[in-house]
Amino acid sequence: VYLKAIEAHGFKSFADKVDIKFDSGVTAVVGPNGSGKSNITDAIRWVLGEQSARTIRGVKMEDVIFNGTSGRKAMNYAQVGLVLDNRSRKLAIDADKVTITRKLYRNGDSEYYINEDKCRLKEINELFLDSGLGKNAYNIISQGEVDEVLKARPEQRRNLIEETAGVMKYKLRKKESEKRLEDTAQNLSRVNDIIQELE
C-alpha cells in the first residue's frame, strides 16, 4: 500500500482544494518557514484518526479548519482524503485505489469515508490493522520519536515489532475467542446447576 495523493480542502492553511500527488520513491517537500510543510504530515495523521489536537499542533480539534486570513473568510469545514494504491490488496477492499476521507465541521460534527461510503473510525482502524498503515503504525516519525523507541521499555518495543510484523490482528482475535470461551464455560456451569436442581 502506498500513498498516491492527499486531497485537502479547508485543512489548516489549505483553503483552496489542493491535490498533492506522490510518485513511488522519495518525495521531499521544501518551502520557507511557516509555508505549510508540516501541515501536510498533520493532514495525514488526522485522516489516520488522530484524536489529539495537540499532536497535530492545535488546542482544540476545530483548529484544523482554515480560520481565514485578511483577504479570505474562514471555512466551515476541513476535509482531507488519502488516496492509497491498493494493487497489493493489503487493505481488505477489492479495489486498486482506496480513498480514506475525514471531514470535520465547525459545529463539531465529524464524518469518515472509505471510498465514497460513510463509515465509522473503527472501520478505518480495522482496515489498517496490520497493513503497516495507521495512527500507531510509525508511518510518520517526528523529531524525538527515534529517541523514544530507543528508550522504550522492552514490552513497548515488542508491541512495536508485533504491530510491524502483522501479528496484532491475531492477538486481538485470540483475546476475543478467549472471552467467548469464558462466556460459554459460565453458561455451561449455569446449565449444570439447573440440571442438578431438577434431578
Which amino acids are annotated as binding site for ATP, given as ranges? 32-39
Q: How many CB atoms lie within 10 A of CB 144?
A: 7
Minimum CB–partner distance for residue 50 and ligand ATP (Å) = 15
Minimum CB–partner distance for residue 51 and ligand ATP (Å) = 18
Q: How many CB atoms lie within 10 A of CB 149?
A: 12
- 31 or 144: CB nearest ligand ATP: 31
Count of positions on this chain that bind ligand ATP (CB under 6 A): 14
Q: Which residues within the stretch 14-43 sit at the binding site for ligand ATP (CB under 6 A)?
A: 31, 33-39
Minimum CB–partner distance for residue 64 and ligand ATP (Å) = 6
- Residues in binding site: 32-39
> d(Cα 53, Cα 62) in Å, to the nearest integer?
8
Minimum CB–partner distance for residue 42 and ligand ATP (Å) = 7
Binding segment for ligand ATP (CB under 6 A), chosen from 59-67, 93-101, 128-136, 178-186, is 59-67
Q: Which residues within the stretch 62-101 sit at the binding site for ligand ATP (CB under 6 A)?
A: 63, 65-67
- 77 or 112: CB nearest ligand ATP: 77
* 3-class DSSP string for the chain: CEEEEEEEECECCECCCEEEECCCCCCCCCCCCCCCHHHHHHHHHHHCCCCCCCCCCCCCHHHHECCCECCECCCCEEEEEEEEECCCCCCCCCCCEEEEEEEEECCCCEEEEECCEEECHHHHHHHHCCCCCCCCCCCCCCCCHHHHHHHCCHHHHHHHHHHHHCCHHHHHHHHHHHHHHHHHHHHHHHHHHHHHHHC
* Angle of the 154-165 helix axis to the 168-198 helix axis, nearest 10: 100
Contact string 110-149 vs ligand ATP (x = CB under 6 A): ----------------------------------------
- 53 or 160: CB nearest ligand ATP: 53
Among 1, 5, 13, 140, binds ligand ATP (CB under 6 A): 13
Minimum CB–partner distance for residue 39 and ligand ATP (Å) = 4
Residues in touch with ligand ATP (CB under 6 A): 12-13, 31, 33-39, 63, 65-67
